[in-house]
Amino acid sequence: MRVLGIDPGSRTLGWGIVEGKALKYRGIAYGTIKSNPRESFSKRLLKIYQGIEEVIEKFEPDALSIEEVFYAHNVKVALKLGQVRGAVLVLGEKSGLSIGEYSPRLIKQTVVGYGNAEKHQVQEMVKILLKLKKVPEPHDAADALAIAICHFHNIGIENKTKKA
């Protein structure tokens, strides 16, 4: 199975591809899609949509895992993040991908073992778990890989539960 992890952002969206089964996986690719904050928000959404569409066409994932909306002090930021997530979710459905949504706390708990982990801790654990030579940067891409890893762990738990 190949999973596309998405760390949604309206300025920088992180993406990562992880391949494997249950708890045996490896990193394939990662990157970011950056949009210009001076452009209209609709143009930024289109750039994000087209960028993820290219990633899906190139790497042909089976599943999409995305971070859920977290509590934001700024309502405008939360709304924009929701719109970015919406665009990515629609693209995932259009592409026929199974979709998993995970809270930031669950992602950190799964990857680091601590739900309040710092960015650098997530990056280090992603490097270790995927046996990468260096820490994935920027942190948006590392977070996307962590989200994909979280999906593998949750799929593994679901499979064990079904067998029991």
For residue 75, what pLDDT band results from cuts at 50, 70 and 90? confident
User: Could you say which of 62, 93, 101, 140 is catalytic?
Assistant: 140
- Among 144, 5, 103, smallest CA distance to 63 is for 5
Segment (H or E) for 159: helix 139-163
Closest among 140, 155, 131, 148 to 59, alpha carbons compared = 148
**Cβ–Cβ < 8 Å for 38, 13:** no
Residue 1 has pLDDT above 90, yes or no: yes
Residue 110: CB atoms within 10 A of its CB come to 20
3 state SS of 27: strand
Q: Indicate the pTM of the whole model.
A: 0.92
Q: In a 3-state reduction of DSSP, which class is residue 56?
A: helix
Catalytically annotated residue among 7, 60, 68, 137: 7
Active site residue: 67, 93, 143, 158, which one? 67
Annotation marks residue 143 as catalytic: no
**Domains present along the chain, CATH in parentheses:** 2-163 (3.30.420.10)
Residue in the block written with tokens 């593994």? 156
| Each residue's pLDDT tens digit, 91-140 | 999 999 999 999 999 999 999 999 989 999 999 999 999 999 999 999 99
62 among known catalytic residues: no
**For residues 59-75, average pLDDT:** 87
How many angstroms separate the CA atoms of 85 and 15, rounded? Answer: 13
Taking only the tens place, the pLDDT of each residue in 3-59 is 999 999 999 999 999 999 877 899 999 999 999 999 999 999 999 999 999 999 999
Strands (E), the chain: 2-7, 12-21, 24-34, 63-67, 98-102
pLDDT at 161 (0 to 100): 43
